[in-house]
Chains A and B, each alone.
Chain A
């Protein structure tokens, strides 16, 4: 099996999807000849041409609005929003149109499409190249919101998203684009959009996270293990709909929960995880639920390293929770 970075795996998934189905089209800013600002769409334009790999005018509202029309007509469009921070002009099309089309038409019209966008910090991009906005979308029934954390998951989840009937917000943690290589199966395969992934088994503390926080949590869990605390680490992979059964099973085993997210704290998805566990498994809890999150500030430029949860903060929360009696 070839070794790939997440970026290569995403690119490979799009090659596979476009070869498999002529209805799969890409559109976005600079995705054609340039191959995207991160190179995610590299080589697609040369292989599939300008009609299927479209460099669009600079309008997110237009990119998503036209993609919705393409999906209605029967294509499987995969629009790219260059940075998640620039998705807001398209928010209306996503929330009011793409997400609600099936429901409001009684299933007569649907929007099978995937909005890809690099998300989160990691490139010293300040306010507008760094945000983690998954919670805005997770608040929208009808959308699938997913975020892989490994190259193999990225490819399998992207293929599953493109060949899925629902509209998907596919968030690519840009900090992990070139984080490391992993063996990635060649050709066609899909990875479930309905199941969380158990990253590490342990009986002492459940740690739930997703996206770019996964390797940070893994690192912290490794150190915790050396200190005698065994973490059950769960990568949610899908934020909406999310697999709470896996989380609840784990908490029933460990009795302790830490949730780690890069996004700001208030109304982040970690809050939903905490609330659900409190509702459905309060009897199992032996310690307060801990959240490790970004702060309720804009994403900073110079202080990015302070803002983003790091190993130290995660480890601190794990140990605090493990020790609580």
Chain B
């Protein structure tokens, strides 16, 4: 990670130096506010009251939750899990930049954003158990959340399909004259090779749609490194071909992610069109519970990125600012651990999914042909 030139300069005097502009950094640079040691390298713009603390709490919470869920998978209590370890800064910094009325189209590592926006922890956990406590009736494998209240659109497994859908939602906002709303689409670096990615950016550029694309460039798509995914110098630079600005951000700097994505969201809200934001980060864990990264990547690489952990950096900055201390963290972790434990206990005690839900929600009303199939099953194999 090349340090920005500006970072060499001493932080401006406390009084209202202009906050740095991620757009000015451009698609080849790297927008950063806080460096790996937790030192501000540029003026941190004024943020909503308490937001930086909430970021650290949410990151700590997600790290703890991911570890617990992964443990449940290892114990055979849930079938699968994928953590966001190392990407919490990019995830939460970008996710928090959207308003409650905005529509979010997540990829596979943004579960923390659903929680941030109010999805019940029990529903998050129940989705992974796939039991009767899951509002989606255990129909998808774990980590495929869906929450209407949070405007967090149902995730599917096929990579990148959500990106063009976000553009469609943004277009719908224009059609309805509700352009004050914005759509957000997340994707990984691997997703930038898919058809949907290119179609989506192309349509968004032509329509000047109120959409923000957030790419979590964690540098790996399962076992395929970024260098084999694209010959492009950066991912952000791809945006230029679609007639929109590309911004490249230090994805392990939660504040930088927030500021850059918030600027893009505001730009979209003003009717100035889409932005593509690349958050440069790293997947510290395996791709998922089914993956063993030692087969394809050198662990020395992960070790370098362990030091760039977004959580460590943000904690160091907050602590230096006098806004965080060990006692507060301990208390927070203890309370979070209990919340997670309680939620797991509640969810795990739920009944299995009702067999009848196999047949509902396929069509708006059940057609005769499906009712017949259900009747036949119930005759052959009574519940």
Contacts and interface: CB of A to CB of B under 8 A. Distances in A.
Given A104-B140, A107-B361, A109-B146, A61 B175 contact: no
Interface residues of A, number: 50
Contact of A66 (B135, B165, B360): B165
A104 B168 contact: no
A196 to B, nearest CB: 12
Interface string A3-38: 000000000000000000001010000000000000
Contacts of B165: 65-66, 68-69, 72, 97
Given A242-B369, A244-B369, A102 B364 contact: yes
Nearest to A107: B361
A56 B205 CA distance: 12
Contact of B195 (A61, A74, A103, A106): A61
Contacts of B164: 61-62, 65-66, 68-69, 93
B205 to A, nearest CB: 9
A75 B176 contact: yes
Contact of B199 (A23, A51, A59): A59
Given A61-B164, A66-B171, A69-B166, A106 B137 contact: yes
Nearest to A64: B164
B368 A52 contact: no
A25 B175 contact: yes
A110 interface: yes
A129 interface: no
Given A109-B148, A242-B369, A97 B161 contact: yes
Contacts of A89: 195
A316 interface: no
Nearest to A27: B171
A165 B173 contact: no
A65 B369 contact: no
Given A25-B175, A59-B202, A92-B161, A73 B168 contact: yes
A57 interface: yes
B369 A108 contact: no
Given A51-B175, A57-B206, A65 B196 contact: yes
Contacts of B144: 104
- Chain B interface extent, by class: 35 or more
A212 to B, nearest CB: 24
A105 interface: yes
| From B140, B161, B164, B365, residue with most partner A Cβ within 10 Å | B164
Nearest to B201: A62
B136 interface: yes
Contacts of A56: 203, 206
Nearest to B181: A73
A101 to B, nearest CB: 6
A142 interface: yes
B168 A241 contact: no
B103 A73 contact: yes
Contacts of B158: 92, 96-97
Given A70-B169, A97-B161, A166 B363 contact: yes
B361 A106 contact: yes
A174 interface: no
Interface in A215-265: 241-245
B136 A65 contact: no
A164 B153 CA distance: 21
B196 A61 contact: yes
A160 B179 CA distance: 30
Given A59-B203, A97-B165, A69 B170 contact: yes
A65 B200 contact: yes
B50 interface: no
Contacts of A102: 361-364
Given A66-B164, A66-B165, A69-B183, A108 B171 contact: no
A194 interface: yes
B200 A57 contact: no
Contacts of A54: 171
A241 B367 contact: yes
B349 interface: no
Contacts of A141: 362, 370
Contacts of A108: 135-136, 146-148, 154
A100 interface: yes
A62 B202 contact: yes
Contacts of B369: 241-242, 244
B154 A104 contact: yes
B172 interface: yes
B375 interface: no
A110 B364 contact: yes
Interface in B133-169: 134-137, 139-140, 144, 146-148, 153-154, 156-158, 161, 163-169
B171 A57 contact: no
Nearest to A73: B172
Contacts of B134: 106
B163 to A, nearest CB: 8
Contacts of B183: 69
| From A54, A74, A105, residue with most partner B Cβ within 10 Å | A105
B234 interface: no
A208 interface: no
Given A59-B199, A108-B148, A245-B368, 7 more contacts: A57-B202, A62-B200, A104-B140, A164-B364, A166-B364, A243-B368, A244-B369
9 contacts: A57-B199, A59-B202, A62-B196, A62-B200, A68-B164, A72-B165, A92-B161, A97-B165, A166-B363
Interface of A: 23, 25, 51-52, 54, 56-57, 59, 61-62, 65-75, 77, 89, 92-93, 96-97, 100-110, 141-142, 144, 164-166, 194, 241-245
Across the A-B interface, give the 9 residue pairs with the lowest CB-CB distance, nearest first: A69-B168, A65-B164, A62-B199, A66-B168, A165-B364, A241-B367, A69-B165, A105-B154, A73-B172
